[in-house]
A = this chain, B = another copy of it.
Amino acid sequence: MEREMVDLCEVICIHEESVNEVRREMITEDTSRSLAEIFKTLGDPTRVKLLFALMKKELCVCDLAAVIGASESAVSHQLRILRTQQLVKFRREGKMLYYSLADKHVERLFEQGLEHVTE
């Protein structure tokens, strides 16, 4: 099926060598999906603000809501997404959950992202 497609397009405009060359080194379907998922998770202002706040300090849900100016429910929903992507972790202390960054990757991603934004 893939072969047919190449052959079909080839007669029109494809540079076969280039296409095959790039195809050989191409990212897998799974990897591109995982990568996109991480970036999509970072692709929302609320989550960006949450992560940025957590870069400074471990905070509970209520604090996070106050810092970024969103409802606690909205924050909780977004934290769930960040947890699912392993971007944040938390520890319980009494009734409260203290959230923090799971690792240093987010900070580096933000640095790179900001470099692009402020270019």
Contacts and interface: CB of A to CB of B under 8 A. Distances in A.
Given A32-B49, A41-B43, A43-B42, A21 B56 contact: yes
Given A43-B41, A113-B38, A27 B48 contact: yes
Interface of A: 2, 5-6, 9, 12-15, 18-19, 21-23, 25-27, 29, 31-45, 47-49, 52-53, 56-57, 59-60, 62-63, 65-69, 86-87, 96, 103, 105, 108-110, 112-117, 119
Q: Copy number of this protein in the oligomer?
A: 2
B43 A43 contact: yes
A109 B112 contact: yes
A67 B113 contact: no
Given A15-B60, A41-B43, A56-B25, A35 B67 contact: no
A71 B85 CA distance: 30
Contacts of A29: 45
A48 B109 CA distance: 16
Given A105-B112, A116-B105, A63 B19 contact: yes
